[in-house]
């Protein structure tokens, strides 16, 4: 997906505030944050949504969660709380058709969301 904005960020064609990178994932700060800490964790492989995941993706999905845990601990929100969110489809608020995990923290998050 050459025109996908997240693929372009992964390829460094578009600047982003990158938090960390591994062989399979890239984590960067959201440009429209919904919380004081709002990091997006994406697989480097283009997957349109959670519906594209199969058994072969278990490792990258696990790595995405592990990256979120690492950032949460580093930012000191592992005790106070944080939220991890996958949106799937327009009614759920998925604005970019590239699988991404939102890490939101450093403010009180309401329930239910939205």
Contacts 24+ apart (CB under 8 A), 19-25: 19/71, 20/67, 20/70, 20/71, 22/63, 22/67, 24/59, 24/60, 24/63, 25/60, 25/63, 25/64, 25/67
**For residue 62, which of 41, 82, 92 has the smallest C-alpha distance?**
41
Catalytic residue check, 100: yes
Q: One of 38, 57, 98, 100 is an active-site residue; which one?
A: 100
- Give catalytic residue positions: 100
């Amino acid at each position: 997906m050459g025109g996908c904005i997240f693929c372009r960020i992964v390829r460094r064609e578009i600047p982003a505030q990158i938090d960390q990178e591994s062989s399979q994932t890239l984590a960067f700060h959201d440009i429209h944050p919904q919380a004081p800490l709002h990091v997006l964790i994406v697989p480097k492989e283009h997957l349109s949504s959670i519906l594209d995941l199969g058994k072969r993706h278990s490792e990258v999905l696990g790595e995405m969660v592990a990256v979120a845990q690492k950032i949460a601990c580093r930012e000191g929100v592992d005790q106070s709380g944080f939220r991890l969110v996958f949106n799937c489809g327009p009614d759920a608020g998925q604005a970019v058709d590239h699988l991404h995990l939102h890490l939101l923290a450093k403010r009180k998050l309401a329930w239910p969301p939205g």
